[in-house]
Chains A and B, each alone.
Chain A
Amino acid sequence: DAGVTQSPTHLIKTRGQHVTLRCSPISGHKSVSWYQQVLGQGPQFIFQYYEKEERGRGNFPDRFSARQFPNYSSELNVNALLLGDSALYLCASSLVIWGYDGGYTFGSGTRLTVV
């Protein structure tokens, strides 16, 4: 069984550009969450989607948006990139919302560098 897959694995963008990150959850998992992890810190919650609906949003600006598709895959979009957006972006999938069934399975992340 494939785990959570994220693409691309690494990305370099220029300030002001737009980026789209993609995530495919484990087959059968209906919940996808996005986290931002800055070097040396714990992951910070960005979005939670369950059954294609947004169920939670962290304290991030409106430049960050996401959506979940009918096949439960998800995209995270970031507009007008800032240097401070440089981070590891993690996608996590779970069977039910908030991982109440036993936690999240994380992908390996997308390393975004903004220059």
Chain B
Amino acid sequence: TQLLEQSPQFLSIQEGENLTVYCNSSSVFSSLQWYRQEPGEGPVLLVTVVTGGEVKKLKRLTFQFGDARKDSSLHITAAQPGDTGLYLCAGAGQNFVFGPGTRLSVLP
């Protein structure tokens, strides 16, 4: 069974700070996706990474896929209160599995 772990589980920071959240597995994934979920809503896709070592940028968000395609990171620069939410990574392999998420709170 493929599993994804995410760290930290919770993160509370001040507006303007930088942060990095991590997604790790012992399994290789053909692709990995990051989603953001707000309360009462379904997850919204942020990015898909496919190639080992790939880096993608989405405004203040930078996503990296590990060389071995087993892990990924999400870096947010100058966090804003609107970034608050549950950040989920999900991997496509034998099935499609989600990590438990990192709950981010950005305080004004």
CB atoms of B45 and A109 under 8 A apart: no
Q: What 1/0 mask marks residues of chain A from 39 to 62 whose CB sits below 8 Å from any chain B CB?
A: 001111100100000001010000
| Size band of the interface chain B makes with A | 20 to 34
CB atoms of A33 and B48 under 8 A apart: no
CB atoms of A56 and B88 under 8 A apart: no
Q: Which residues 1-32 of A sit at the B interface, judged by CB distance below 8 A?
A: 4
Q: What 1/0 mask marks residues of chain B from 34 to 78 whose CB sits below 8 Å from any chain A CB?
A: 010000111111001000000000000000000000000000000
CB atoms of B96 and A48 under 8 A apart: yes
Closest residue of A by beta carbon distance from B4:
A42
Q: What 1/0 mask marks residues of chain B from 14 to 49 whose CB sits below 8 Å from any chain A CB?
A: 000000000000000011010100001111110010
Known: A99-B33, A100-B92, A102-B48. A41 touches B42 (CB 8 A): no
Does A90 sit within 8 A of B, measured CB to CB?
yes
A residues near B40, Cβ cutoff 8 Å: 108-109, 111
Give the number of residues in A that approach B within 8 Å (Cβ atoms): 25
Q: What 1/0 mask marks residues of chain A from 92 to 115 whose CB sits below 8 Å from any chain B CB?
A: 100000111011111111010000
Residue of A48, A56, A104 with highest tally of chain B CB at under 10 A:
A104
* CB < 8 Å neighbour of B45 from A35, A90, A98, A104: A104
Known: A90-B42, A99-B92, A106-B42. A42 touches B98 (CB 8 A): yes
Hey, which bits of chain B sit against chain A, CB under 8 A? 6, 30-31, 33, 35, 40-45, 48, 88, 92, 95-101
Task: Name 5 interchain pairs, CB-CB below 8 A, sorted by A.
Answer: A56-B95, A56-B96, A103-B48, A109-B40, A109-B41
Given A4-B42, A42-B6, 18 additional A-B pairs, CB 8 A:
A35-B98, A41-B101, A42-B99, A44-B98, A45-B96, A45-B97, A56-B96, A58-B95, A92-B42, A98-B92, A102-B48, A103-B45, A103-B48, A104-B43, A104-B45, A108-B42, A109-B41, A109-B42
